[in-house]
Amino acid sequence: MKHIKIKLFYIALLIVQFKIANGQSAAVQQKDGSLKLIKNSGVKPRNIVFILTDDHRFDALGFLKAQSFIKTPHLDFLASNGAYLPNAFVTTSLCSPSRASILTGIYAHKHKVVDNNNPVSKDLVFYPQYLQKVGYQTAMIGKWHMGGEFDNPQRGFDYWVSFKGQGSYLPEKNGLNVNGNRVKQKGYITTELTDYALEFLDKRDAKKPFMLYLSHKGVHADFIPEDKYKGMSGDLAFNPPLNMNVGTHQGAPMWLQNQRNSWHGVEFPYHSNLNIGEYYKRYAETLYSVDESVGRIIDYLKKQNLLESTLIVYMGDNGFQFGEHGLIDKRVAYEASMRVPMLAHCPEIIKPGTVVKQVVANIDVASTFLEAAGLKAPSYMDGKSFLPFLKGEDQPWRNGLLYEYYWERNYPQTPTIHALRGERYKYIHYTGIWDTDELYDLVEDPLETKNLIRNPKYKSVVKEMNTELFKQLTETGGMFIPLNPDRGGQSILRYEFGSPAAQFPSYLMREKTEAPGAQH
């Protein structure tokens, strides 16, 4: 009987491990499927405006002066009169996974939206559904882009304006989906989406709270500035990142060295010969319209006497590299890829010039908005509300932020990545590559140019961060690699005259100890 009990115990254990390995134990909604949340007593539901931009890198803000051609006066206004969150990140630097994490408050390995091609599960609950339940008027205006080329209205939104896939800066045949009806796109997308946002605000029921989610296409590539902003960067110089050139990254993985000469590399960007500096200036000119959009929203709220009480949060869905580590675009776990701009404004609760230094992320947005609505976030959410930080209050917070990216067949140059981003160190763990993981001291080496992974002095740091990384993955049901069917083409070419394939590092080389072909 004792042996039978032991055997049954191990069978049960194997079943649990199997479920964890397949992510089945990771909750993505409340146990009973309910949308009812506990209300925090004495809290009046606050109006919310959430503005999300596409691929807006963390330092592309005028007041940071990273490039002379970056001008964002209205975003600068939010920072100076509200809060600036310099340590804001995404947990997956890719459009659909990041947006799904924003809407659900959970990691990509839980919501399973791990690429830009596969559809969103019907089991997922979006935070606007909880807001609707307590009487909010909700609107989604702009880019949805989560799995496939569809733009039909999604759950949680009373008012809907979207477009298929990435959409278009200029009018094209697909047009827009406005509350389930096909409507022509009349003009430049950023301006038109703002028009719809203001229409929603103007026609709302003034007796009910509202949540506006304005999701811009800008500044996604290929960048097309609005006519009035074309050429405004003029002859202003591009300051290339210091870690752009070959040889500046000590201990760089082989895959990274090889990616220089690829679709996402500076030597063969998007399989073309585009100039990275000129490309960045087009990006900046496209961003001018986004900044103008923010200004229009601010002006409307001010005229309606809502600016003081409305919580405005602005952020990017991913970072974007313009030459860092020899790369363009995102996906990787380096700072310029996973770090995003985040600003918050609400004079009733946020003091002008507030700087929130804690590491916050896209998974925290849902919990923050629920708290602003007077609701307690559901326990299954991985993120936490950063609203207390905006108010100048303190609270227990994370030791390190989990980052994940899963290899895509469409862009196979980047491997599966899991990383832990702490206040000082970043540990990057790869699956599917041969040579090396990475460790960086972000205080001493903010550009991440010295890989410390093989330095004996940091052996204990590596061990501790490795343990913490897998602890977080285990606790959140992330001990598996998601697999989806192939969709879309592959961008796999190299430039004939670009950098050759990387050499294997010396620490992997061993001298022959016997003649080739010797018998063992």
* pLDDT tens readout for residues 120-139: 889 999 999 999 999 999 99
Cα(328)–Cα(270) distance, rounded to whole angstroms?
Answer: 9
Share above pLDDT 70 across residues of the chain, in percent, rounded to a whole number: 93
Q: Nearest to residue 146, comparing CAs of 180, 102, 190, 179?
A: 102
Contact between 350 and 321 under an 8 Å Cβ cutoff? The reply is no
**Which two three-digit tokens encode residue 7?**
């055997």
Please enumerate in sequence order all residues whose Cβ is within 8 A of that of 263, keeping only pairs 6 or more positions apart, or say none: 269, 270, 271, 411, 413, 491, 492, 493
User: Cis peptide before 219, with omega less than 30 degrees from 0?
Assistant: yes
51-91 pLDDT per residue, tens: 999 999 999 999 999 999 999 999 999 999 999 999 999 99
Write the secondary structure of 282-303 as one string of H (helix), E (strand) and C (coil): HHHHHHHHHHHHHHHHHHHHHH
Phi-psi region of 230 (alpha: psi -120 to 50; beta: other; left: phi over 0): beta
Cα(144)–Cα(175) distance, rounded to whole angstroms?
Answer: 14
Write the secondary structure of 475-514 as one string of H (helix), E (strand) and C (coil): HCCCCCCCCCCCCCCCCCCCCCCCCCCCCCCHHHCCCCCC
Q: List the domains of the chain with CATH numbers.
A: 48-394 (3.40.720.10)
Say which residue the tokens 């207390």 belong to: 388
Cα(52)–Cα(377) distance, rounded to whole angstroms?
Answer: 21
| The pLDDT value given to residue 14 | 41
| The pLDDT value given to residue 22 | 46
Cα(350)–Cα(314) distance, rounded to whole angstroms?
Answer: 14
380-406 pLDDT per residue, tens: 999 999 999 999 999 999 989 999 999
pLDDT band at 519 (very low <50, low <70, confident <90, very high): low
330-362 pLDDT per residue, tens: 999 999 999 999 999 999 999 999 999 999 999
Task: Report whether pLDDT(324) > 50.
Answer: yes
178-231 pLDDT per residue, tens: 999 999 999 999 999 999 999 999 999 999 999 999 999 999 999 999 999 999
Task: Report whether pLDDT(443) > 50.
Answer: yes
Contact between 439 and 454 under an 8 Å Cβ cutoff? The reply is no
Mean pLDDT of the chain: 93
Contact between 491 and 411 under an 8 Å Cβ cutoff? The reply is yes
